[in-house]
Copies of this chain bind each other. A is one copy, B any other.
Amino acid sequence: MQVSALGEFPLIERLARLVQREGCPLSLPDHLATPLLVGIGDDAAAWQAGSLVQVFTTDTLVDGVHFRFAHASPWEVGWKAMAVNLSDVSAMGALPQYALVTLGLPPDVPVAWVDDLYRGMLSALSRYGGVIAGGDIVRSPMLFITVAMTGVTDLPLLLRSTARSGDAIAVTGPLGASAGGLRLQEHPIPLPAEVRSALHEAHFLPKPRVAEGRLLAREGIRCAIDISDGLVDDLRKLCQASGISAQITLARVPVHPAVRQAFPQDAYVLALSGGEDYELLFTGPPTLVERVVALLPSASLIGRVVEGPAGEVQVLTESGEEVPVALGGWDHLRRP
């Protein structure tokens, strides 16, 4: 069987089981003990290092797969390559620390392009924290950028596996604009300049929710994921990891106003399954979630965690009828 037939997430699960079965646990002298707290299957790995917790994540952009680099400025590509990693760190409730940058470069890439790529990365880091501490440059037939990033925290981590029946579900901001920006790039339509630029910016210059992730952890939230593959898809992953189901109310899903304006017919589809919003989806006891939502001006309560099969997500109307949601989300290996 080929990897495209299996798909990205089944392949990750398969490899996680293989590592579990055939890998050895970390064996270090006692005075270097840094036990693993979170392994494969969350937004980042994490371990204890003395009184601190280190988190560790990596994310890659491949030209022509994630998006066509030619559609964006190198500055935007750099910003996005950092932002997606910053988002993973924030989804653990940690603060960004050090980044290693791997560039796969075709020989004809202009040096000035690489300079501007780095400037975009540095801008994202100067806004959200983190320092480029090294990396690797390799020749490659196509451009790719892999960032590996560490983060640090002294608070309990935000995990995918800690949702409990009865929890409220909330999201830190409006959804769908990134997918709207991608659609606009691929199929341009006439739109007011401010709508166009809001959609473009949501897709190419996503804003990782670093301060928000920290606030969630400080206020006592223990369960979160960042929305990279789409609200329903990421909620499903969170429910799978927690062994539980969820219900969200369609009318409460915060659709980005630029998406409503640009794609009124599909606004909910883009908000539910568009992906790459990089908002944080989180759960917790209802009174706590309500208090936290009140602290975050753009956050919304959207549903609740319920008893049920692991990973089941229902989208309901306000009167409680189920809305059929096209499955989807982003599978890197299956997409044509």
Contact = CB atoms under 8 A, between A and B. Distances in A.
A33 B42 CA distance: 25
A97 B114 CA distance: 31
Interface stretch (A7-15, A195-203, A291-299): A7-15
Interface in A13-49: 14-15, 18-19, 22-29, 31-32, 34, 36, 38-42, 44-45, 47, 49
Contacts of A161: none
B122 A32 contact: no
A273 interface: no
Interface in A122-147: 122, 125-126, 129-142, 144, 146
Interface stretch (A57-65, A69-77, A172-180, A242-250): A57-65
A332 interface: yes
Interface stretch (A98-106, A184-192, A254-262, A277-285): A98-106
Copies of this chain, how many? 2
A4 B58 contact: no
A41 B62 CA distance: 25
A54 interface: yes
Interface residues of A, number: 90
Given A100-B148, A111-B2, A333 B56 contact: no
Contact of A19 (B24, B50, B118): B118
A132 B3 contact: no
A222 B330 CA distance: 48
Residue from the set A4, A38, A135 with the largest chain B CB neighbour count within 10 Å: A135
A15 B119 CA distance: 10
A15 B134 contact: no
A115 interface: yes
The A interface, classified by DSSP as helix, strand, loop or mixed, is: mixed
A153 interface: yes
Contact of A62 (B56, B129, B139): B139
Interface of A: 1-4, 6, 8, 11-12, 14-15, 18-19, 22-29, 31-32, 34, 36, 38-42, 44-45, 47, 49-52, 54, 56-60, 62, 64-66, 95, 97-98, 100, 102, 104-105, 107-112, 114-115, 118-119, 122, 125-126, 129-142, 144, 146, 148, 150, 152-154, 332-333, 335
Given A19-B132, A26-B130, 12 more contacts: A1-B111, A3-B111, A18-B122, A24-B122, A26-B97, A28-B97, A32-B153, A34-B97, A39-B134, A44-B134, A49-B54, A136-B146
